[in-house]
Amino acid sequence: MEDKVVLIVGGSGGIGQASADLFTKAGAKVVLAARNKKKAEEKAKEINDNGGEAYAIGVDVTDLASVSDMAREVNDTLGGIDVLVNAFGTGLIQPLLDIKPEDAKEVFDVNVFGTFLVTQTVARYMATAKKGRVILFPGILGKAVMKNTSVYSASKYAVTGMAKALVEEFRRAEIKFSLLYLGGVATDFWDNPKVEMRVKKEMMLTPQEVAKAVYYAASQPENSVLNELVIQPESHQMV
């Protein structure tokens, strides 16, 4: 990964920041893009103070101008984007009849439209360069459903469908897509009051464990691709 440019959208979260640690240790240049720019800046400073190379940039994944500015700045400053890690998203786990329409809209805006917008924008640069890897997180609820996850699962199944179609669409452009179906991960996702589910974080996957999978997907040889990977805590196993 020496001198590769890795754009992590969702760089203020646990998975994004843990992944940034691995990439920079391997010699990559990492850009942490997040709505919470301050938190991304704090992580970038930590990485730089420890000898790595990291940058922070603010972005609203639901806003075309913001996403376009992000991609343009990274491309112009660092000379291209080798890996895109879509590590952002918002949760909603509630019974269907309790869900506020505005909350459902936010989930689709961030998880589906945001994924579309970021991936489309970055893919334009990758297609021109005829290289690139895109790592997406449909999560286990983009593969199997649970009670009270109707809206959230719908958003994640959309990410799965989008990615599978893009594999075919961008084959000649040599853009490779990896889908990570993760079970419960101990992040602040579970602190969201709209996620009405009792969990034991100590029994979940850690962001550091997930980061190893992200790095593995991104560091495959040029002539290979990790298509799909399912990782779950033993206590959460769904097949």
CATH code where residue 90 lies:
3.40.50.720
What is the span of the domain harbouring residue 17? 5-236
How many domains does the structure of the chain reveal?
A: 1
CA distance 44 to 54: 5
CA distance 180 to 172: 23
Quick: pLDDT tens for 104-159. Answer: 999 999 999 999 999 999 999 999 999 999 999 998 889 989 899 999 999 999 99
Q: Among the residues of the chain, which ranges form H helices?
A: 14-25, 37-49, 64-78, 101-107, 115-129, 150-169, 207-218
Indicate the residue type of 110. V
Quick: pLDDT tens for 53-92. Answer: 999 999 999 999 999 999 999 999 999 999 999 999 999 9
Tell me how long the chain is.
239
Q: Find all residues with CB under 8 Å of 79, minimum gap 6, and list them.
A: 5
Task: Quote the pTM value.
Answer: 0.93
